[in-house]
Structure 1
Amino acid sequence: MKIGIVIYSNDPETVWNAYRFANFALKQGDEVKVFLLGKGVECESLSDERFNVREQMEDFVEHGGKIYACGTCLKIRDSSPELCPISTMKDMYEIVRESDRVLTF
């Protein structure tokens, strides 16, 4: 199955759970793509001792998951991602269009 995940949150627990699910789905053999939108583009820099978001993200990428980050949202925050390419609404559209299921966090 192809799963698309849109992360719009910068809440550490929410983002951590989104990536936990994404990692689980990868291990089940699914293709998973994540699009970071709005506050979601801040997830690489989230720091919480209970919810290690960065570790989940790195595990996701290591196991073949793809992450895309909204370029406009990054520009507003004067930020640039390390784990994913800067992307556009066209990329998010393609993820939604090609996915069998889309989840939002």
Structure 2
Amino acid sequence: MKIGIILGTKDPEVVYNAFRFGVLALRNEHKVKIFLINHGVDIEDIDSPAFNVREQIFLFTKKQGEILSCMKSMKAHNRKESEVCQSHSMEDLLALITDSDKVLSFG
């Protein structure tokens, strides 16, 4: 199954659980893409002792999960492209939604 996740927050607990779910889905042989929008593009700045977001992002990408970031949100939040956050358009978000069997939204 193809699963699309839309992540629009930088709340550590929500981001942690979105990626934790993504990792679980990948381990169960599903294809997963996460689209970061709004404050979701700020996930690399999260430093939480309670929720190890960086570890979940690492596991997600190691398992071949794909992360897409909204170009306009990145500009609005003064974000540069990185290994984790690479700019994509609304057309890419539309493609994620139309190509996915299921779409989830976190935050």
Q: Is TM more than 0.5 here?
A: yes
After TM superposition, the score normalised by the length of structure 2 is 0.95
Contact 2:41 2:85 in 1 (8 A): no
Deviations 1:4-40 (A, max 9, x none): 0000111000000000000000000000000000011
Q: Which residue pairs with 1:10 in the alignment? A: 10
Q: Is the 8 A contact 2:2 2:101 kept in 1?
A: yes
CA RMSD of aligned residues (A): 0.8
**Residue identity (%):** 39
Q: Which runs of 4+ in 1 moved over 3 A?
A: none
* 5+ residue gaps, structure 2: none
Structure 2 counterpart SS, 1:69: strand
- Alpha-carbon offset, residue 84 of structure 1: 3.4
Number of equivalenced pairs: 105
TM-score (norm 1): 0.96
Aligned to 1:35, the other structure's residue is in SS state strand
Residue of structure 2 in register with 1:21 after alignment: 21
Structure 1: which 5+ runs fail to align? none
CA distance in 2, matches of 1:95, 1:14: 20
Residues 45, 54 of structure 1: 8 Å contact kept: no
**Which residue identity is paired with 1:85?**
Q
